[in-house]
Amino acid sequence: MESYIPISFLNDFIFCPRSIYFHQLYGGVDTRLYQSTDQVAGTIAHQSLDEKRYSTSKSILQTIEVYSSRFHIGGKIDMFDRAKKLLVERKKKIKWIYDGYVYQLYAQYYCLVDMGYDVRQLRLYSMDDNKSYPIPLPLESEKYYNGFMQLLYKIRHFRIDTPFVPNPNKCHRCIYNNLCDAAC
Q: Give the range of the structural domain holding residue 72, as residue numbers without chain letter.
A: 5-173
Q: What is the pLDDT of residue 58?
A: 82
Domain containing residue 157: CATH number: 3.90.320.10
Question: Of 24, 116, 120, 131, which Cα lies nearest the Cα of 67?
Answer: 116
**Is 178 a member of any domain?**
no
Please state the domain count of the chain: 1
Residue 84 to residue 158: CA distance in whole angstroms? 38
**Is 179 a member of any domain?**
no
Residue 127 to residue 133: CA distance in whole angstroms? 12
> Quick check: 41 pLDDT over 60?
no
Q: Over range 26-49, report the average pLDDT.
A: 53
**Is 48 a member of any domain?**
yes
Which residue type does 28 have? G
Q: What is the pLDDT of residue 50?
A: 53
**Is 33 a member of any domain?**
yes
SS3 content of the chain, % helix, strand, coil (to 5): 40, 20, 40
Q: What is the pLDDT of residue 37?
A: 62
pTM of the predicted model as reported, rounded to 2 decimal places: 0.81
Residue 157 to residue 88: CA distance in whole angstroms? 29
DSSP symbols for 17-69 = HHHHHHHHHHTTS-GGGT--HHHHHHHHHTHHHHTT-S---TTEEES-EEEET
What H or E segment, with its residue span, contains residue 123? strand 121-126
> Quick check: 150 pLDDT over 50?
yes
Which of 56-70, 76-90, 126-140, 165-179 has the least mean pLDDT?
A: 165-179
**Is 180 a member of any domain?**
no
Looking at the chain, the whole-number percentage of residues with pLDDT higher than 70 is: 80
pLDDT, mean over the chain? 85
